[in-house]
Amino acid sequence: MADINCILCSEKEGETSKFVKLSAKSRQGIISASKIRKDNIHELFEPFPDDPVRVHFECRRVYTNPKNIQNDAKLKLSTQDEAQVNDLPAADAIYHQACSVNFRKGDLIPKKYQDNSKDELRYKPLGRPMEKDKLDPFLEVCKWFKENDEPVCAQQLVTKMKDFLPVDAAIQHLLRVHLQCLYWKTMNINISNPEEWGWKKVGDQLQPIICEMSPAPELLLNTIRCTCKTDTNEPCGSGRCTCRGYGVECTEICCNYSGRDCTNSASKERVENNEEDY
């Protein structure tokens, strides 16, 4: 009997794993568990119903445990690569509650069942597309602010932005300058067609083509400007004035800029100083 292998684990009897002789009830329990598991072990018992069969005590206990049978069935179902989720009837499916929730929400789906076509929408960048020709000058201005402590107003900020304009934004101005240099050096106004060098013909006159691109991102141009009304006693005199709140003077880019009437304008101070001189 020592050379007989356990029909459940195919191992021999050891010092810590002793064989037990199956009673009729134990034999029937293994047969029933085998039919539920569908592993055909019960076929070993049917031809020889009276032959003594020995198995490990622990193997019999684990094999016939209802919870182990249910867990093994779930594991077998999850490892069947040929099973198709679309063909699996919901009534026959065995799944964890967390798996069911994740599947319905589309979270933590196995890679072989993932819809890769949704990746483009999932990782689509948010916000407006980046305009590098406007971003680079803005970063240069930020770098200048980091290296300098000089206070500037909004008008000076716009002027500073022009120093970092990309070539594409100032191309029309560069063309006009180049044409003027040719005129000055050759003293010949017929050396080239002005319409090819930053000028356009309107009637009988030539007019310069203004910069075709914005000198700075629209977000920057609209950041520091106020919308104060001019029909008050002291325009831009309260703390609600955006320019005053940032500690800068009002400029022409403010919505209702009125120059002399604005209490937060350098032009008003100059006028008052001139009146005092007289």
- For the segment 176-235, what is each residue's pLDDT rounded down to a tens digit? 777 777 776 666 667 677 777 777 888 877 777 766 666 556 655 556 778 887 777 787
186 shares its domain with 145:
yes
Q: Which two tokens stand for residue 170?
A: 């100032």
232 shares its domain with 165:
no
> Whole domain around residue 162: which residue ranges?
132-216
202 assigned to some structural domain? yes
Q: Please provide the size of the chain in residues.
A: 278
206 shares its domain with 159:
yes
198 shares its domain with 231:
no
102 assigned to some structural domain? no
pLDDT at site 116 = 59
* Boundary of a domain, candidates 216, 232, 256: 216
268 assigned to some structural domain? yes
pLDDT at site 32 = 81
209 shares its domain with 231:
no
197 shares its domain with 158:
yes
267 shares its domain with 210:
no
269 shares its domain with 232:
yes
266 shares its domain with 209:
no
pLDDT at site 274 = 44
104 assigned to some structural domain? no
137 shares its domain with 198:
yes
pLDDT at site 270 = 43
198 shares its domain with 136:
yes
247 assigned to some structural domain? yes
How many domains are there within the chain? 2
186 assigned to some structural domain? yes
Task: Calculate mean pLDDT across residues 155-175.
Answer: 68
Query: Could you write out the DSSP letters of every residue in 82-97?
Result: T--GGGS-GGG----H
68 assigned to some structural domain? no
* Boundary of a domain, candidates 168, 183, 216: 216
Q: Range with the lowest mean pLDDT among 24-33, 123-132, 173-182, 225-234?
A: 123-132
170 assigned to some structural domain? yes
Average pLDDT of every residue of the chain:
70
Phi and psi (nearest 5°) for 103?
Answer: -65, -40
pLDDT at site 215 = 56
* Boundary of a domain, candidates 194, 216, 238: 216
pLDDT at site 255 = 72
The pLDDT tens digits for 230-268 are: 777 787 888 788 888 777 778 777 776 655 678 877 655
